[in-house]
Structure 1
Amino acid sequence: MEPARPAFVPDPSASRETMETLQREIAATATFSDDFGFDPAAVSTADTHTLDAITDDRTATSPSHDDQPIVVGVDQAFLDDRAVGAIVAFRGGEVIERAHAVVDLEFPYVPGLLSFREAGAILAAFERLDVEPDLAVFDGSGRIHYREAGLATHMGVTLDLPAVGVAKGLLCGAPQRSLDDLSEGTRVAITADDSVETADDTDTVIGYALQTRQYDSGNRYINPVYVSAGHRVGSETAADLVERLCNGYKLPEPTRLADSYADEVKRDHDD
């Protein structure tokens, strides 16, 4: 899979001002509403046999394996001066392809500009992917970003691929209630604040804190994940999809598998 918008491929040699200007252009190009060709209800971590087994209404038809959307999880790892891009293609309960690339790092760690550090390996891995994904789930932010152009948005727009970002920490924005002691399944809207320079107003919902797992006991606590639209997916749908893709773990299954695969590639190259 190659970039549909080559002009948005990050240039790690560009000035910071040029990078931030490009991010504003990406945010202006991004579609933060549903614009995809699959049924969100067909996104699942269950294979078709499991779907058949849990269907209560036997007149209802579960999607065939070929009708289930292909979801790819995308993650990164780092090897000294190299970056690993790892992609796991996932359909229902089955991994159907994995692809990776290892490239030289050309840009340092700068909060808000991570796509310029990580995109080279990710785009190279997408070029090696044979299947055509319906949805990409990135380990990183989408619209929850200072210029609404986090990794998921930058890559989603560049590839013109429906994309969602799932981050472990909150980069910016204002939660609309306390995030302490949330019960499993709770979602809290994250709205734009003064740090989000491209938002139309401070009431704009740029994502959700989603409590995908929680301990029954109050002695231990799991933090929420931060879900945001990347491209061609609305904020609420993004949270719905991530919730459907969690399989008893905090992280959605595609990115959890991609994280494991990135570590595997890293170990192989370390050896």
Structure 2
Amino acid sequence: MDDCGAPVPLRDASTVLLLRDGRAGLEVFLQRRVAGMAFAGGMTVFPGGGVDPADGELAIGWSGPDVGWWAEQFGVTASRAQALVCAAVRETFEECGVLLAGPTADLVVADTGDYQQARRRLERRELSLAEFLVQHDLVLRADLLRPWANWITPVGEQRRYDTRFFVAGVPPGQHADGLTTEAADVGWRRPADALADWSAGVSILLPPTWSQLRLLAGYPDLATVLAAEPAIEPVEPELDVDGDVVTVYFDGQDEYYAAGVHPWTTR
């Protein structure tokens, strides 16, 4: 709620479950956010962030399912769908150094080292994704992304996001890193191991992150994840505040509260 008691308006956001096949199975890239951040500070999360107005710019090369297909998958307008996909590509590059784009519709950048200055400018909002792609004659590879889930921050939080989750594999030759001001630590983890860290108190997971890790733990490899066609149904948990006790109600809550750490520092 805001200071007047009205629900805080929702802001569109995109989150990417960045995946690879490791020696022991499927691995996902995770970040522990800087503790002092306004939203999810200190939490272990997937890369992602809010949609910027510039993410909806139209003058870019685009490869893969068109915006109409993405709009249908996520239940939004075509303009919002484009902004969500562009935000997913931009945030993945800003936060991980992984660029889902290439010089042609069927190629992808193999080494992002030449684009590090642009990456910093994107992070500082001195450059839009569209400007970056046009300047470097790159095509956005929407075909490297798959729609995965939709979670909405519950009413009662001070910051609320309507977040679309995507899955994507790391392109050959590229490497995810932690060169972002938003992450205190990064790394690849098997989903089951990330859940074990949370149960042991090593990390802190919000319900959406925990839920997606549980889903990923059931997949043996990247190909199986990319071949999945999950139904994208909006999930909006309910928030209950009783004094200092904050409870989030959602499908799977009993298991979530049975084993894990749940300090609600986002409030």
Q: Shared fold (TM-score greater than 0.5)?
A: no
The TM-score bracket by the shorter chain reads: under 0.3
Where is the strand percentage greater, Structure 1 or Structure 2?
Answer: 2
TM-score normalised to structure 2 length = 0.27
**TM-score normalised to structure 1 length:** 0.27
* Higher RCO, Cα 8 Å, sep 6+: 2
